[in-house]
Amino acid sequence: MDTLTIIAVASIITAGLTTGIGAVGPALGEGRAVANALASLAQQPDAAPTITRTLFVGLAMIESIAIYCFVISIILIFANPFWNHVVSQAAGGR
């Protein structure tokens, strides 16, 4: 296999793993956060506005991890800096 093929295969596998792990981790975290928030709401219904506001801020932070993983995957597939470097080196060497 040549260098470009190895970089392409490694990039695709890494992008897939990044998306997969980056989706599973936040999904588990969001589920746990919602379950704990519901348990807190059941115990103290008077604190509902505070618990809800804190829950939404926490969910936004957890979801940002998944978004960052998705962005890294898109960069690896469509704007791969390693691919561009190897192509520029190959063109410069000719």
Taken in order of first residue, the domains within the chain and their CATH numbers are 19-87 (1.20.20.10)
Indicate the pLDDT class of residue 91, thresholds 50, 70 and 90: confident
Q: How far is CA 19 from the centre of its chain?
A: 6
Contacts of 77 (CB under 8 A, 6+ apart): 11, 12, 15
* Residue pair 69/22 in contact by the 8 Å Cβ criterion: yes
Question: Do 24 and 79 form a contact (C-beta atoms < 8 A)?
Answer: no
Residue 10 tokens, joined: 């490694």
Q: Give pLDDT, residue 85.
A: 80
pTM here is 0.75
pLDDT tens per residue, range 6-56: 888 998 999 999 999 999 999 999 999 999 999 999 999 999 999 999 999
Q: Report the pLDDT value the prediction gives residue 1, as an integer from 0 to 100.
A: 77
Q: Which of the pair, 10 or 82, is modelled with greater confidence?
A: 10
Where residue 5 falls among pLDDT bands split at 50, 70, 90? confident
